[in-house]
Structure 1
Amino acid sequence: MDNYFLTNMASNLKIITIVTFDTTVYDSFAAVFDECLQTYSGSSMVSVQSNSSNQSISPLVYPLGTLPFYPTVQIDGITVMLKQGDITKVGVDAIVNSTNKTMDMNYGASGAILEAAGSSVKNECKMLGSQPHDGVVVTGGGRLQCLYIMHMVGPKTVPFITAAVEKILEKCDQLNIATVAFPAIGTGKTSSYNPIF
């Protein structure tokens, strides 16, 4: 992700949210956020923002786990935040759906996204048809609190995950998206458990 923003300085993207429902996965990602911050700052603190919309946009710094805030890091001016919860309830411009080649995966985060989005999105997916292993396509948001759903055929290795994330970021720029939510990619039934962000 860092390389993408170094070569695309004019990106409209402001906030990337990684959302996971699972506590173990959340804790693993939070540890990665803490390691990331330690690497750049030499401290064991995580840059976090309040989840209240009335708070300042400027990040505050607190020890990980001491306050009810979301772990947050800055990457090339982009806020990357981790939330535990239901990705279908996140209010963003776009939600990423890691799915199968036929875009009809009915379990995990993908199943929850398709069910919550409703039949209009399922119909769009059917019309788009089967996608290549590295495919990324965009549909409307259906009944979700987003304008778009970006469907990517679920990559299973770190190089493929990295390439897929970069394709999603390119689509975000093409559509002038400022906020996007990703599921915890690489942690589902068909993937090995290893946070890459």
Structure 2
Amino acid sequence: MLKIWGRISSINVRKVVLAAQWLGIPFERTDAGHEFGVVKTPEYLAKNPNALVPLIEDGDFQLWESNVIVRYLCAKHSPGELYPQDLAARFDAERWMDWQQTTLNPAGRNAFVHLMRTPAEKRDAQLVAQSAAATESLMTLLDDHLPHRAFMAGDAFTMADIPIACELHRWRGLPLERPARPHLERWYQGILAQPASRGVLDLPLS
């Protein structure tokens, strides 16, 4: 059985759990990281020297880095569907996964950290505002991308949708005002309606 290490409050762990549930893979998840510890133990560091979550163990194979894990699970369990076989289609999906990790996630990080993980008296309102402005611009980019396609990489759900759905879940959970974005909302509500999103995208932030 697939073993997933990491607390569900982590966006990166949520990506892996969402992928596993979407693919129907039986798994066992062990809380690790943050208040649960574990990640600094010699046993864990031998598997992931970064001392971060998530980590998966698939038989004798160990893998860390959330988006890489999503790619691996989709390639193994859904070749040609969630993991596109056509080279152009695959790298279209890859592009959006990298964009989530290198552009969208960093933009929203300060708002999340200050509003969810920082005591009110220590929050930096200017950093939150800057983070919110940067992220809202990217959300507009997503809304502009979706009018003529059902999912991030075309007409079918692929690995590209998983990390961006988890990012949107985190952004929507922050106590901030957001303008209406009908295309992005349609896409996200469609994912929320799927049973695989239960226990991942329906959880409050913490």
TM-score, scaled relative to structure 2:
0.28
Greater C-alpha Rg: 2
Question: Could you say which structure has the higher helix fraction?
Answer: 2
Question: Could you say which structure has the higher strand fraction?
Answer: 1
- Ranked by relative contact order (alpha carbons within 8 Å, sequence separation 6 or more), the top structure is 1
TM-score, scaled relative to structure 1:
0.28
